[in-house]
Structure 1
């Protein structure tokens, strides 16, 4: 258990060398302004208005926040509490799920419930992330819930209800995106949305947040991501050549457009580059739900999104893309080099 940051960071006063990022990647002491014009979309408004707002947000920002989304505030609060309680369990309880086997992580979504530390391949990383990460598949719920943590006792019940609600919201948002793109009804069916992975990030208080990261700059590899970031700031988005902070909104969800939606839309929608920073005052816990295609799904620009029938991206199989994603550490420019059709 010595690998878990949440265990040993409680007694350290200095940042270990293998958690210090290169100068060009670390956040440093430069002030990052809060983004004042992040789209906040009220899902209780008319569908026509909502489709237009989401379309603009996906094209301009690649992310937005949603309110009045139908997931109860009590359920969001209960879920945040139970996942925080998990990370406060005694070490021997967490040890039952702990793994440093990279093969478990590269199968995205993972095949079972695992607790990791740092990034995608701890044993071979030059620099580690200042985080611990619990992840597990959750759709269909009856196939996976039995493998989730047994403690806290209410974990499976609360997180199960939450995963169902968040999945339903994700599919609702995809339907609104589908309408905005002019795709045929049912386009985002089971093949593109079968996988759902819950990823719970725990970023302990850090002795020097200027030198390390909770997560480096990356885009999400999946279709669509819903993030509940609690009340502690730490999410930053890269837009127009600068980092901007995303201030937490109580009970809102941050919605990230995954790389697969950028491909399907033939570049009309953008996948937002983002990172997680740490702080020296308090722990931060976030709950992330990823919606993923089936591993053997072919991803390519949808025909109705093509201008003059010219696709910008090559077709690929999702499971093959994940290998490229890992190799390039989520760097969108590197992945564009692989998949963009060159003139």
Structure 2
């Protein structure tokens, strides 16, 4: 875990010329990096640098810094196993077979991304934001960080600070687990705040179904007591396209799927 955080820090410290080749914009670009988010979409620039890498079902990696690819491959494979184990437990908690989500979401071809964020000290943190309020696509997001807190979760209309212990995996529910479970598990609205003293590095790893999977409420749940489906189905790839084009304003894209 620490090796992955250190490797991401080394990547952010590369010369701009070395990072320029990864100036992708789309969520599904194999590798992309940049500063803040797309101003044409958000209208406001946020205080962060980012690196986003597609690691499954096809593995990609920057060529620098030295050793980055090996650390990335080992770390994301281990985290992928954790996510699948958790999804097995969630399946059982719903009264389903432990392999239900794995089969229904075609996890052998699951989409796994690594999103590393660097939040430098900000002179006026009260006027800036690391990331605006949003929910994550996919089933689960696994997060680690360098010991500097800055993640806030929305709970009953209030923003709650998290105190994530270094060396611990922090996991929260994504949009598509909410859809699949017909709302039994809720996607988490969260944001990143900045400070004026310490650099924060966080690594978020969304785990989704395969891109071609149509995610809708599980029929087995609708047969076992749920009165009706609360969400309409949509192909995962199409949802990502909508997310990429929409503005980050705190509204979840799940509103588009709610019936």
TM-score, normalised relative to structure 1: 0.69
Deviation sequence 1:167-196 (CA, Å, 0-9, x none): 111111111111111223422226443111
Structure 1 residue 95 displacement after superposition: 2.3
Equivalence for 1:325: 243
Written as runs of structure 1 = structure 2, the 5 A alignment for 1:41-190 is 76-97=1-22, 99=23, 101-102=24-25, 105=26, 108=27, 110-119=28-37, 121-140=38-57, 143-145=58-60, 148-189=61-102
Instruction: Judge conservation of contact 1:136–1:198 (CA < 8 Å) in 2.
Output: yes
Structure 1 residue 309 displacement after superposition: 4.3
Written as runs of structure 1 = structure 2, the 5 A alignment for 1:134-283 is 134-140=51-57, 143-145=58-60, 148-189=61-102, 191-193=105-107, 194-283=110-199
SS of 1:210's equivalent in the other structure is helix
SS of 1:256's equivalent in the other structure is strand
5+ residue gaps in structure 1?
A: 1-75
SS of 2:29's equivalent in the other structure is coil
TM-score, normalised relative to structure 2: 0.90
Larger radius of gyration: 1
Structure 1 residue 334 displacement after superposition: 5.4
Instruction: Judge conservation of contact 1:222–1:259 (CA < 8 Å) in 2.
Output: yes
5+ residue gaps in structure 2?
A: none
Distance (Å, rounded) in 2 between the aligned partners of 1:245 and 1:165: 27
Q: 1:310 aligns with which of 212, 215, 228?
A: 228
SS of 1:157's equivalent in the other structure is helix
SS of 1:183's equivalent in the other structure is coil
SS of 1:205's equivalent in the other structure is coil
Distance (Å, rounded) in 1 between the aligned partners of 2:247 and 2:90: 27
Deviation sequence 1:278-305 (CA, Å, 0-9, x none): 1111211111111122222111111232
SS of 2:141's equivalent in the other structure is strand
Instruction: Judge conservation of contact 2:140–2:177 (CA < 8 Å) in 1.
Output: yes
SS of 1:83's equivalent in the other structure is helix
Structure 1 residue 336 displacement after superposition: 4.3
Provide closer, same or farther for how the CA distance between residues 303 and 176 of structure 1 changes in structure 2, counting only shifts above 3 A. Answer: same
Q: How many residues are paired up?
A: 254
